[in-house]
Amino acid sequence: MAIQDIFQSIVAFNDAHIAEQVQAEIDAGTDIASILNEGLIQAMDAVGKQFGEGKLFVPEMLRAAQTMKVGLEVLRPHLAGAEREERGTVVIGTVKGDLHDIGKNLVAMLLEGAGFTIVDLGVDVEPEKFLEAAKAYDARLVAMSALLTTTMPQMERGVRLIREAGLHAKTVVGGAPVTEDFAIKISADGYGADAPSAVELARTLTSER
């Protein structure tokens, strides 16, 4: 068993063995971050590249995503178990019109591991729903994910609603097409390029009140 087998399962859209492959790597003592980055994330990047080049299509991409999710679930306790100090609530979701949730789930798992309580609104979340949940759960942070350039404007609406409501919740945005410049432009409080930087950002933003 090797990390390469995990990578191969995803690029071959084969979820039959991925759970045992990930478990075998964990049991062998392989670094959890390596399993995640070199096995799961790099494979999904490879799939995305092939999709971009027109070499595979949505059904295959969906099966690859499903395979990655099975692997991520096996990793979940190891990602989320690291630290347990209560740091407040994070409301997280993928913005309206966007159904991509793997990156969002990963960010949620790492934030949970870092001691935050997670309220996951799922995918296709209206800006108003982020606001409602931020109020209802007295959130310290509202985290929005977008993978489509066409759904990024929904982040702007969400950030604006939360600012206008005068809540203490800070807003953070991320997802493949999102940039630091975009975050500044829409007046979000922060931008994270990946799940570990989302955790750093969350820690920093929630320690300054």
Q: Which residues bind ligand B12 (CB under 6 A)?
A: 41, 44-45, 47-48, 51-52, 58, 61-62, 65, 97-104, 106-107, 143-145, 147-149, 172-177, 192, 194-195, 198
From CA 111, how far away is CA 204, in angstroms rounded? 13
Q: Are 63 and 13 in contact (CB under 8 A)?
A: yes
Which residue, 121 or 172, is less far from ligand B12 as judged by CB? 172
| Shortest distance in whole angstroms from residue 98 CB to ligand B12 | 4
Instruction: Determine the Cα–Cα distance for residues 47 and 126; give it in Å rounded to an integer.
Output: 28
Q: How far is the CB of 39 from ligand B12 (least distance, A)?
A: 12
CB of 154 to ligand B12, least distance (A): 12
Please state the closest distance from residue 165 (CB atom) to ligand B12, in A.
Answer: 19
Please state the φ and ψ torsions of residue 121, each to the nearest 5 degrees.
Answer: -85, 0
How many CB atoms are located within 10 Å of the residue 16 CB? Answer: 11
Decide whether 28 or 202 has the Cβ nearer to ligand B12: 202
Kindly state the tokens that stand for 56: 């595979």
Least distance CB 46 / ligand B12 (angstroms): 8
For 175, phi then psi, to 5°, come to 125, 155
Q: 84: part of which helix (H) or strand (E)?
A: none
- The closest of 30, 50, 36 to 7, measured between CA atoms, is 36
